[in-house]
């Protein structure tokens, strides 16, 4: 059982609990991105097991009255065990989900996985005419070129600032530089993309900039935020825009919870208040 202090950031240990949380969000006009916790499997067996779990999750979403999609991590479904393992698993997840009208996001991990992840996205999103999304990290120096590469493809692109710590030769390290890059890349997306823009940020300044660009160009976008972070803002934004909450679940919740707390001390305060009922 997930303790109350962690349940602010993790929906539960089972798909049923995650889907229940998604339904509660749907009642407030927020859609759900469901992610089974797990990553960096260097053997095929656990990667295949989690891939099978995603097939069952796609089946559950397709059969349920819920506005939800799924998100997979390449290292969770086999990339660390070999590119061929990842490709086999991501292809069968996307194909199975597409048959059930369930959208699939491919998360982006550290910079060494970018090429393999983008190649998989490009092939699958063309094959399925969309129905697949990928994440790009604004702090990587290569991202402007990657955006140009993806601009004319179907599917969606989620732009985040970047949660990993790449070396300076491949990434921007100063916060101000990352913020500037994020704004520049958002502007490019609204100018060159025909929709499919996902603003993956909790930063009010970046969300406000996306709203301005939407008004200027008329290009649709969605906002994506994590479960447990700026919940009230998510509901407020959902009155005007499409909003998705990224919802992790599963028995590997402990490391994920520590990561959320380490990112911002306010996250620990929020969790403690939830436990204390304040």
Of 69, 66, 85, 65, nearest in space to 77 by CA: 85
Tokens of 46: 């656990």
From 50, 87, 158, 179, active-site residue: 158
Distance CA 244, CA 183 (A): 21
Do 76 and 106 touch, CB atoms closer than 8 A?
A: no
Residue 231 burial (CB < 10 Å; 0-12/13-18/19+)?
middle
Any catalytic annotation for residue 183? Answer: no
Residue pair 21/42 in contact by the 8 Å Cβ criterion: no
Q: Is 232 a catalytic residue?
A: no
Burial track 23-60 (b if 16+ CB lie within 10 A, e otherwise): eebeeebbbbbbbbbbbebeebebbbebbebbbebbbb
Q: Are 245 and 251 in contact (CB under 8 A)?
A: no
The answer to whether 237 and 223 have CB atoms below 8 angstroms apart is yes
Selected catalytic residue, list 50, 107, 146, 179? 107
User: Annotated catalytic sites, by residue?
Assistant: 107, 158
């Amino acid at each position: 059982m997930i303790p109350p202090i962690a349940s602010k950031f993790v929906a539960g240990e089972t798909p049923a609990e995650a889907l229940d949380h998604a339904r509660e969000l749907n009642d407030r006009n927020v859609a759900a991105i469901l992610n089974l916790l797990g990553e960096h499997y260097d053997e095929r067996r656990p990667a295949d097991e989690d891939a099978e779990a995603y097939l069952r999750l796609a089946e559950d979403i397709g059969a349920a009255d819920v506005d939800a999609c799924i998100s997979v991590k390449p290292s969770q479904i086999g990339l660390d065990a070999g590119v061929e393992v990842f490709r086999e698993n991501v292809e069968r997840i996307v194909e199975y989900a597409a048959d059930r009208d369930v959208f699939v996001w491919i998360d982006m991990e550290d910079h060494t996985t970018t090429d393999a992840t983008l190649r998989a996205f490009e092939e699958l999103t063309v094959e399925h005419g969309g129905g697949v999304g990928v994440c790009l990290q604004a702090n990587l120096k290569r991202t402007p070129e990657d955006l140009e590469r993806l601009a004319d493809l179907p599917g969606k692109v989620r732009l985040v600032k970047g949660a990993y710590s790449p070396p300076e030769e491949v990434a921007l390290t100063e916060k101000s530089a990352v913020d500037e890059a994020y704004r520049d890349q958002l502007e490019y997306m609204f100018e060159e993309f025909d929709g499919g823009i996902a603003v993956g940020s909790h930063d009010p300044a970046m969300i406000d900039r996306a709203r301005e660009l939407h008004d200027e160009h008329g290009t649709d976008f969605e906002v994506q935020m994590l479960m447990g972070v700026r919940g009230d803002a998510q509901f407020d934004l959902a009155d005007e825009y499409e909003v998705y909450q990224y919802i992790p679940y599963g028995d590997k919740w402990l490391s994920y919870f520590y990561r959320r707390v380490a990112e911002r001390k306010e996250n620990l305060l929020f969790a403690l208040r939830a436990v204390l009922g304040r």
